[in-house]
Amino acid sequence: RLRLPPALLGVFSRRTLCSAPPPLRLDPVLESTLSRFKKASSRGSTDETSLVEVFSKLQGRRVKKVLLLCSDYDSYTIEEEGVLSEVVYHEYVHLNLRSPPVIERVSSMEKAIARLKEQEFDLVVTLMRYANSFVTRVHKLDPSLPIALLAMSTTELSALDPRMQQNQSTSVNKRLMWESKHETDQPHEALARSGSYPSSYASTLSDAWIWPFLWQGNTSLFTGIFKLVEDRLNAQVDSTYGVQVILLVEDSVKFYSSYLAVLYGELLKQSMSIANETMGAKEKLMRMYSRPKVLLCTNYEEALDIYERYADNMIGVITDAGFPRNGKHDNDAGLALAATILQERPQLPLMVQSAQNTDSETARRAVAMGAKYATKSSSSLLNELRQFMSEDMNFGPLVFREGDTAKKLGSVSTVTELLDTWEQLPIKSVEYHARRCDLSKWFFARSEFQLAKRFRASNYPAHFIDSNGHSRPDWLRNWILAEARANRNKLASGVENVRYADPSMPIVRLGSGALGGKGRGLRFLNSIVEDLGLETVMPDVQISVPRCFVLATGVYDRFIEENDLLVPALNAENDDEVNSLFFAASLPEDVVTELHTYLASMTKPLAVRSSSLFEDAFLRPFAGVYETVLLPNASPSIATRVKELTLAIKKVYASTYKDEARLYAESTGTRREEEKMAVILQELVGAEHEGYFYPSLGGVANSLDFYPPDGATPSHGCAQISLGLGSAVVDGMPSVRHFNLGTPHYTTGPDEDMMPLMALDLTAGQQAASFYDDKRAATIQLPPEFGAMRTYKRSADVEAAPEASGSVPLTHDVHGEQVVFKHGYGEADRAPPRKPSAPAPLSPVSLDQIINAEVNLPQALSFMLRLCSMGLGCPVELEFALKLRKSADTRHELHILQVRPQQEIASSAAARALRFKYLPSDQYSAVASTRALGHGSFNGISDVVYVSPSAFESASSEAEREALAREIGSLNAKLRSEGRRYLLMAPGRWGNADGTKGIPVKWYDIDGAGFIVESTVPGKGEEVPLSQGSHFFQNIMSFGIGYATVDTSGANNLSGAVEVADYGYLDSLPRAADAPPSLVNHVQLEAPLEIVVDGVSRRGVVMKPGSPFDLYVGQVDAFMALQESQFGSMG
């Protein structure tokens, strides 16, 4: 790039370091509520739980105290999803019967260091974003303290300190250091301060106890982290009592993070089945305490050392094929380890897994030495791991087979079943299982060590030979029966079944597991509504959250498992096959019973919404990927309504495996089998009108407005609203009004009398055929006359301050803060209005009146956005519905339907260096926009895919534009497979749901694009509707794709800058060699385009080849800025 004079660099610096504008000033009552919430959040939180009585020597070292460094929302996520209150407590009670660790949360690094100096902790958990300097400071305080680093994406993992990478690859002795931490009673803080640590505590990060983990929404990972630390500390002692060990050798953070949930999930399942079997309290507790330990190793030396120490207690090994050996990555390290282990213990269950296919040389060598093999690229890898634990390691039912053919004869799950079956088992089958040591493996997995040791010590046939020298398998059968009967306890006869259904609660949960992304947000919303009394915080508006009935992810797991859907669904070739699988499947009977009970008291329309683990995440929101079904729920027959509801739930479940979800998961590197789906049954907001059900209006509000008008800033936030249901906003329909919350008097979008209304047709039932329909059959678009709103209006209108009356409106105070006047300002000296003698009739009210006077919607939305942003620790997006009051004794109802993190523009050093406001003409640029999103330079884009205005106009019908979308999807798939990002450009809005304002592509049709441009149609001057608030826009932001809208007419551009979308230039370029004749053009340039976006000023340019940005934009803009700073604006 060209270098600029120092004076101009100074101007750039001053532009870059501008301070953030203040937020909107709200009503004092609302500001006070925000202040109370902020103070309560800053105090942090801890969870105090009572300890279970300790009565054995097992599991003597525990993670009792955890220091958590994270934001308010991160803390809430952990607690809400149940790591503390449900998952951790539930698993600890049923697995270890110990209390969960006390979690102390701090929100800053300095507070964390201060607490570590004051008190002893057993574990530190922090997000990867805090890791760089924090880990070094913690290690200096206590070199033996375990530190778990949580990465929210694989991208974060790549930012690991090289010393931490070395930590994973080397140092066997660090395990001994970790295990010896508590061998002295002297507090480790005192040892650290005195410098008297044992010599093995080398103060190098290569010896530090650092484990990075990848959090992908499965909250069981947190329990796995706690258990993993405890297992490492307790293995040495507990193994002397017979406790078994599972060796996991894996250096990939992503994979071992996934494996932990599977491993501990199977251990939990086994422990719970044993708990339901045994009667004696002490025996029950002993079984729980003595579950197998999981020991994770990340290099060859450490893995071999662990095996040699616990060889007699090893119940199974799961190893990667390649990992570090002698400090360097060795592709055959896992095979070498497997060969060593199987040579000594050939019957030990061992699985080798790698990225290579099952027909590879690695797979052949693994199978040849007697190991199982799995490929990491398999879509059912985690299911194969579960099968290996269940069948080979005997954590599942014990399967009996014929002695000659190994044909399956049956299986048993309990000791009682074993005794009944073993007595009748064919004698050859008895010999078969004795030679394979299957019974000892099964009893070891059940923690019945004494019996398992006796069975393993026996040698058939050597120990069962009669006086004539003949082997006696019948003796073996009888001996096993006698030993098992002598050692077993009396079995329990009942299992406790906890039911959560309670219609009086705002959120009712059915089943175990997580609530998913939407459920987490709704739980947070309900907590702040209740804690802060939000229903009464505004005099004329009641803020609330609709009641919800949530089918947690445990119900989904049962549905998939009981119908054996996982592998068929993953392997389904198309959506029709997925639909057929799920349509034929059945929900668990007890779940259907609970739904019947729920519908007995719920007769209002329902929204059946997806709430997967990955939805509404910070980095990959999965926005609009999964299904939502709206149900009239109006049939007089409850049996019919239950049938409709179960069908809708299965439709949501099926969307987890459809093409759109599959392609989205592939683009994010997400493993589909790790996804779990919760379903939310949410009471629909609105009222019935002539057979249709809808609210007054619905929409989406954002903390950040990426296209603020003059007089407003991005931090003021914005809202997009539509008449009736808010689906028009999230689906990208054109009938949407947009306004910045700081300047609500200025709105963009269609006139109110041209806006159709989205409603639910109460006469539309969900028939079986609708399962195969991708559209919401019950949703209908009504003509604009249905949108005429009426309400019981209040007596006074919003007024300006008295001192500003009749003059220029006062919009900012002396401190520069935005002023929003409340209802009744300056009315103290007025006479009270006379009470009406009779109830006033409902009056018509316009959208502008709702926004600026009657409801003061900007005030309410600004308040909720700021409140939720404090809780989540980031900008947020809210879905809402407004129901206008219909009588004097009621209030307007603002229902918050959902909250999720709003995607931000990354602010890298490169982005801050590329500040500009000047836009070049079409002589130098192919695209120039005042409304662009991005974060600096978009490099490596040499391909352009575009539809010219003439081609767009010629494809005027819906079918023709859908054909354009399919063509673009095919090009996208081709370029994505070749790893080529491209510039995508066309008139209208991409992803427009009905095709009237753009090309109706799906997200997976354009997910390979690197920069997307939307333009007006030349000659028409029709504004491109803003995409904010739509699911499509959420996905663009989350993937870091550049985005710009261009108004070539200038009619809607208030800044005065001339925008450019030079289709003529693109038409002049030669088409790609392999491009067939089509309305969709593909151009491949010899050199990459220069695409630059200023994420602050929202300017974006695509420079033409031979016109460098630095020369034709950077220097010109710098000179203009210098002139402006010296002489003032010429305008």
pLDDT at 685: 92
Which two tokens mark 1086? Answer: 């010899």
- Confidence check: pLDDT of 411 > 50: yes
- Confidence check: pLDDT of 821 > 60: no
pLDDT at 73: 67
Which two tokens mark 948? Answer: 């010219």
Which two tokens mark 406? Answer: 């190994």
CA 800 to chain centre: 44
Q: At 206, is the pLDDT very low, low, confident or very high (cuts 50, 70, 90)?
A: low
Which of 350-364, 521-535, 1033-1047: highest mean pLDDT? 350-364
Least confident of 2-6, 307-311, 738-742, 935-939: 2-6
Q: What is the dihedral of CA 1056, 984, 1014, 616, to 10 degrees?
A: -110
Which residue shows structure tokens 């701090």?
106
Least confident of 83-92, 115-124, 534-543, 888-897: 83-92
Measured CA to CA, the distance from residue 741 to residue 747 in angstroms comes to 10
Q: At 193, is the pLDDT very low, low, confident or very high (cuts 50, 70, 90)?
A: very low
- Confidence check: pLDDT of 160 > 90: no
CB 97 within 8 A of CB 289: yes
- Confidence check: pLDDT of 581 > 70: yes
Q: At 36, is the pLDDT very low, low, confident or very high (cuts 50, 70, 90)?
A: confident
CB 529 within 8 A of CB 543: yes
- Confidence check: pLDDT of 714 > 70: yes
Average pLDDT over residues 364-381: 93
| Helix spans in 498-584 (H) | 516-532, 553-562, 566-570, 575-584
User: In the predicted model, what is the mean pLDDT of the chain?
Assistant: 77
The better pLDDT of the pair 239, 788 is held by: 239
Residues 209-240: tens digit of each pLDDT: 788 888 776 767 888 888 899 898 888 888 88
pLDDT at 615: 72
Least confident of 305-314, 525-534, 601-610, 936-945: 525-534
Reported as type and span, the H/E element at residue 1009 is strand 1009-1015
Average pLDDT over residues 792-804: 48
Measured CA to CA, the distance from residue 102 to residue 125 in angstroms comes to 12
Distances (CA, A) of 937 to 514, 793, 1041, 1056: 40, 52, 11, 24
Residues 234-271: tens digit of each pLDDT: 888 888 888 899 999 998 888 898 888 888 878 877 76
Which of 54-63, 87-96, 143-152: highest mean pLDDT? 143-152
Q: What percent of the chain clears pLDDT 70, i.e. is strictly above it?
A: 73
Q: At 1012, is the pLDDT very low, low, confident or very high (cuts 50, 70, 90)?
A: very high
Angle at 260 between CA 495 and CA 236, to 5 degrees: 90
Average pLDDT over residues 194-222: 60
Which residue shows structure tokens 């400071």?
137
pLDDT at 96: 47
Average pLDDT over residues 85-114: 70
Residues 137-150: tens digit of each pLDDT: 888 888 788 888 88
pLDDT at 220: 74
Q: At 187, is the pLDDT very low, low, confident or very high (cuts 50, 70, 90)?
A: very low
pLDDT at 198: 40
The better pLDDT of the pair 1026, 792 is held by: 792
pLDDT at 50: 29
Average pLDDT over residues 858-878: 90
Q: At 11, is the pLDDT very low, low, confident or very high (cuts 50, 70, 90)?
A: very low
Least confident of 556-570, 731-745, 895-909, 972-986: 895-909
The better pLDDT of the pair 714, 474 is held by: 474
Residues 475-501: tens digit of each pLDDT: 888 888 877 766 653 333 222 233 433
pLDDT at 709: 76
Q: At 809, is the pLDDT very low, low, confident or very high (cuts 50, 70, 90)?
A: very low
Least confident of 34-43, 178-187, 303-312: 178-187
DSSP states of 270-326 as a string? HHHHHHTTB--HHHHHHHHHTPPEEEEE-SHHHHHHHHHHSGGGEEEEEEES-EEET
Compute φ and ψ for 205, nearest 5 degrees.
-65, -20
CB contact set of 358 (below 8 Å; sequence gap of 6+)? 373, 375
Q: Residue 461: is the preceding peptide bond cis (ω within 30°)?
A: yes
- Confidence check: pLDDT of 881 > 90: yes
- Confidence check: pLDDT of 781 > 90: no
Residues 459-471: tens digit of each pLDDT: 888 888 887 888 8
- Confidence check: pLDDT of 801 > 60: no
CB 847 within 8 A of CB 808: no
- Confidence check: pLDDT of 1025 > 80: no
- Confidence check: pLDDT of 849 > 60: yes
3-state secondary structure string across 902-953:
CCCCCCCHHHHHCCCCCCCCCCCEEEEECEEECCEEECCCCEEEECCHHHHH
Compute how many other C-beta atoms are within 10 angstroms of the C-beta atom of residue 413.
12
Least confident of 26-30, 496-500, 748-752, 785-789: 496-500
Q: At 585, is the pLDDT very low, low, confident or very high (cuts 50, 70, 90)?
A: very high
Q: At 708, is the pLDDT very low, low, confident or very high (cuts 50, 70, 90)?
A: confident
Q: At 797, is the pLDDT very low, low, confident or very high (cuts 50, 70, 90)?
A: very low
Least confident of 328-337, 487-496, 930-939, 998-1007: 487-496
Average pLDDT over residues 844-860: 87
Average pLDDT over residues 439-453: 83
- Confidence check: pLDDT of 612 > 60: yes
Least confident of 427-431, 722-726, 912-916: 912-916
Compute φ and ψ for 949, nearest 5 degrees.
-55, -40
CB 793 within 8 A of CB 843: yes
- Confidence check: pLDDT of 125 > 70: yes
Measured CA to CA, the distance from residue 587 to residue 559 in angstroms comes to 6
Least confident of 113-122, 135-144, 634-643: 135-144
pLDDT at 139: 80
pLDDT at 284: 60
Average pLDDT over residues 359-376: 94
Which two tokens mark 263? Answer: 């491993």
pLDDT at 12: 40
The better pLDDT of the pair 92, 388 is held by: 388
